[in-house]
Amino acid sequence: MGLLRATAACGARGASIDDYLDATELSRPTIYRLLKGLREEGFLRPSPVRHRYLLGYELLALGAEAGNGANLRDLARPRLLTLAQQLGDSFYLFAHDGRHAVCLEVQNGAYPVGSFVASIGGRVLLGAGQASIALLASLAKSERDWILAANRDELASRYDIEIDAVEAEIERCVEQGYARGVEGSSLPEFTGLALPLLDHSGRCLGAMTCSMLKSRMTPEHRRDVLAGMAEQIEDLVTQAHGLLRADT
């Protein structure tokens, strides 16, 4: 796993043996042996640049399956596209993954904006962004407290976000039914809204979220975005015919 992460970190240029030596504590013979096995299984492939490696296409198949539990991604994709086309903003599907929220799907409208994640598969620390607020609000208090304690220092250093502000926004989300992001220094010109995606038993499967420029967040647009996401979530769960369930 360390070799795969090191490969991903090197991006399109590919990873060299020196990159793997710097990123891990493995010996050179061990690295060569593991690289051979990863190539044979399709998890790595040779780069056009000699003696460098890129992530293999087998990871695409695994990633697609991992991001589509209970067909959630397939169900959400056309609905996010509809929202993006109708309302013009960027719409996302996020799921809870340990101390992070992971992006399962994104569709951009006529006014795409920046986000804490660059693409599908991107992860953001829980506490940063409106999707993470919606996800945290759905968790049991004991789990939420553990996550916030573990993320406290990194939220402050990376995003300029304080835990007190996160907890206040979680309480507001529980009361009003939708989440806003907590103000920080990372994306000061953007804002957004999020709704939890609940299955038929009321358990949270993820969060549907919208990101936009602050200048677009008028009261009327806020109302339209929340109403649109609520309608699409209701339709999604209805289409699932009771088969959509959170993992136990």
CATH number where 72 lies: 3.30.450.40
Range of the domain at 8: 2-60
Of 24-28, 46-50, 107-111, 138-142, the least confident: 46-50
Whether residues 79 and 49 share a domain: the answer is no
Residue 16 lies in a domain: yes
pLDDT in tens, 85-101: 999 999 999 999 889 99
- Distance from C-alpha of 199 to C-alpha of 81, rounded to nearest angstrom: 21
Number of domains comprising the chain: 2
Averaged pLDDT for residues 201-230: 92
The pLDDT of residue 184? 65
Q: Which of 60, 77, 105 is the last residue of a domain?
A: 60
Whether residues 145 and 24 share a domain: the answer is no
Q: What is the dihedral of CA 171, 177, 183, 184, to 10 degrees?
A: 90
Residue 143 lies in a domain: yes
Residue 211 lies in a domain: yes
Whether residues 127 and 175 share a domain: the answer is yes
Q: Does 201 have pLDDT greater than 80?
A: no
The pLDDT of residue 147? 95
- Distance from C-alpha of 231 to C-alpha of 233, rounded to nearest angstrom: 6
Residue 23 lies in a domain: yes
Averaged pLDDT for residues 204-232: 94
CA distances for 213 relative to 131, 183, 189, 221, angstroms: 16, 13, 6, 12
CA distances for 4 relative to 8, 24, 39, 66, 97, angstroms: 6, 11, 11, 17, 19
